[in-house]
Amino acid sequence: MTVKKKYIDMTAPKFHGLRVEFYKALLNSKFKEELKEKIKPHLFTLAEIEIKSFSPEVIPLMQEENTLVSQYDKLVSSAQIEYDGKTLNLSQLQPYMESKDRKVSKEAYEKWSSFFETNEEKFDEIYDKLVKIRHEIALKLGFKNFTELGYLRMGRSDYKADDVKKFREHVLKYIVPISNELRERQRCRIGVDKLRYYDIPFNFLSGNPAPKGNKEWIMERAKKMYEELSPETGEFINLMIEEDLFDLETKPNKQAGGYCTFLYDYRVPFIFANFNGTQGDITVVTHEAGHAFQTYESRYMDEPEYSFPTSESAEIHSMSMEFITWPWMELFFEEDTEKFKFFHLSDSLTFIPYGVTVDEFQHFVYENPHATPQERKKAWRDIEKKYTPYKDYQDNDFLDKGTFWFKQGHIFGVPFYYIDYTLAQICAYQFWIKCNNDRKKAWNDYLNICRVGGSQSFLEILKTGNLNSPFEENTIKQVASEIKSYLDSIDDMKM
């Protein structure tokens, strides 16, 4: 572990303590009423949440928690897998796992899972300690278990575990059947007798849709797209380009992944990515640019807490931009545009059952903090079978006993985060539908939710954007039926 990482692991909980002191001063201020006129009120709710989720007494436990998460990260990044005459880490193995050659994808998946199997005891030990420490922190702070504290740590102020439970039930009822159908279509498309776990990333015999040009080519088109989309996005993209607020090209020793951040001192967004020639490059100029555009539209707010909303809301901005920009996808995918759209919609939909699996598993874990690693694995496999019954680990006993989640860093690092992607996705689909019906209105709703930044809670943002709540059964039902009719109208066998 680097010295710097260790320093942050030790200092972050103390820093949390300082923030809590500040928030206490804010809430106890004799000018509180006057402040409420100056500051949008959500900050007071966020302050209460931070105060409830901390006490100086839990600092040593929080430090231990951070250390364990760093151990997990280090273990995952330590992977050195011998394949194809090379020594690869897990992300370098990824392209082989997505290979069109079934023999290669099977071998790569087996290499991948044998890394986790070799380190099974270590993963079990790290997670077991994390669960017990989080439970202890929760008890010390006066909660009955970690679940409620986990929700508070995510900044959630207006929905609870029960709402999310109902959401998962509705996913099971309306989304899972479509997801199962899509996997069956995938099986037919790629021409296999039975879809195995190592076939999942392989979607088209002709390969996945990819942009037809390099970084400069993509950025030229992204500029044209945002200039045509609206005056606001035109202004935004030109600022991003003129001020060089991107780091897009992949290079040796550069950190993996992609994200958007907000440079508060300059009040501008910044986008970090690793372009690699796949459709992920386009996601950077739609998804990450969606995050960036939100921070740009809400940059006038003085409170740093309001730069981004809580993550289930922040992902609405990004995931919706992926759909709002659909009319320009021809610029990037040319003759493969329909294939891209089919893939985008079906891939995002089949993700939802996996997303709720990760969530339900964590509810089991923190409601049963004394379960053994074996009991956890069994719970994972049972939940996995419920939401993704097509997952077939027939020839891999290790994955079949319920260990696929070892790879999911969120489960170790940020408990209860994962459901946010699925909640936001249901909202993004609503923008997709709205854009098809009344683009002008859809754009206004989108602009409005960007402008409030993080100054509203999730349910308030839904109201601002005229969005139906994903917690209502009817919302999922309607969204699912629109998606199904679109997907059914496409002849994917020719793709």
Check: CB of residue 195 under 8 Å from CB of residue 203: no
Structure tokens given for 186: 């995938």
Shortest distance, CB of residue 259 to Zn ion, whole angstroms?
A: 7
What is the rounded radius of gyration, in angstroms, for the C-alpha atoms of the chain?
23
C-alpha 106/C-alpha 134 separation (Å) is: 37
- The reply to whether 348 sits near Zn ion by the rule CB under 5 A is no
Task: Give whichever of 81 and 314 is closer to Zn ion, judged by the CB atom.
Answer: 314
Task: Give whichever of 323 and 393 is closer to Zn ion, judged by the CB atom.
Answer: 323
Shortest distance, CB of residue 450 to Zn ion, whole angstroms?
A: 14
Task: Give whichever of 318 and 403 is closer to Zn ion, judged by the CB atom.
Answer: 318
C-alpha 82/C-alpha 324 separation (Å) is: 42
C-alpha 313/C-alpha 296 separation (Å) is: 16
Shortest distance, CB of residue 323 to Zn ion, whole angstroms?
A: 14
Q: Give the residue at shortest CB distance from Zn ion.
A: 318
Q: Is 119 exposed, middle or buried (0-12, 13-18, 19+ CB in 10 A)?
A: middle
Task: Give whichever of 71 and 286 is closer to Zn ion, judged by the CB atom.
Answer: 286
Shortest distance, CB of residue 288 to Zn ion, whole angstroms?
A: 7
Structure tokens given for 163: 């709402």
Structure tokens given for 91: 């992300």
**DSSP track, 5-21:** HHHHHHHHHHHHHHHHH
Q: Which of residues 131-160 bind Zn ion (CB under 5 A)?
A: none
Task: Give whichever of 425 and 456 is closer to Zn ion, judged by the CB atom.
Answer: 425
Residues 6+ apart with CB under 8 A from 185: 492
Task: Give whichever of 294 and 318 is closer to Zn ion, judged by the CB atom.
Answer: 318
C-alpha 355/C-alpha 5 separation (Å) is: 29
Cα torsion 48, 317, 311, 162: sign? positive
Give the chain's end-to-end CA distance (angstroms, integer).
Answer: 47
Task: Give whichever of 174 and 308 is closer to Zn ion, judged by the CB atom.
Answer: 308
Max CA pair span of the chain: 71
**DSSP class of residue 98?**
T
Shortest distance, CB of residue 436 to Zn ion, whole angstroms?
A: 23
Residues 6+ apart with CB under 8 A from 143: 149
Shortest distance, CB of residue 453 to Zn ion, whole angstroms?
A: 15
Q: Is 391 exposed, middle or buried (0-12, 13-18, 19+ CB in 10 A)?
A: buried
Q: b/e for 306-340, b at 16 or more Cβ within 10 A?
A: bbbbbbbbbbbbbbbbbbbbbebbebbbeebbbbb
Task: Give whichever of 308 and 332 is closer to Zn ion, judged by the CB atom.
Answer: 308
Q: Which of residues 298-337 bind Zn ion (CB under 5 A)?
A: 318
Shortest distance, CB of residue 428 to Zn ion, whole angstroms?
A: 11
Task: Give whichever of 318 and 396 is closer to Zn ion, judged by the CB atom.
Answer: 318
Shortest distance, CB of residue 246 to Zn ion, whole angstroms?
A: 16
Number of residues that bind Zn ion (CB under 5 A): 1
Shortest distance, CB of residue 273 to Zn ion, whole angstroms?
A: 12
Shortest distance, CB of residue 405 to Zn ion, whole angstroms?
A: 21
Shortest distance, CB of residue 483 to Zn ion, whole angstroms?
A: 20
Q: Strands 259-263, 246-249: parallel, antiparallel or unpaired by DSSP?
A: unpaired
C-alpha 379/C-alpha 365 separation (Å) is: 9
Task: Give whichever of 105 and 294 is closer to Zn ion, judged by the CB atom.
Answer: 294
Task: Give whichever of 31 and 259 is closer to Zn ion, judged by the CB atom.
Answer: 259
C-alpha 256/C-alpha 259 separation (Å) is: 10
Shortest distance, CB of residue 248 to Zn ion, whole angstroms?
A: 16
Kindly state the helix (H) or strand (E) to which residue 266 belongs, with its residue range. none
Q: Is 162 exposed, middle or buried (0-12, 13-18, 19+ CB in 10 A)?
A: exposed
Shortest distance, CB of residue 314 to Zn ion, whole angstroms?
A: 7
List, in sequence order, the alpha helices (H) in 250-336: 280-283, 289-297, 311-324, 330-333
Identify the residue whose tokens are 């998804």.
287
Task: Give whichever of 62 and 285 is closer to Zn ion, judged by the CB atom.
Answer: 285
Task: Give whichever of 88 and 154 is closer to Zn ion, judged by the CB atom.
Answer: 154
Chain positions contacting Zn ion, by CB under 5 A: 318
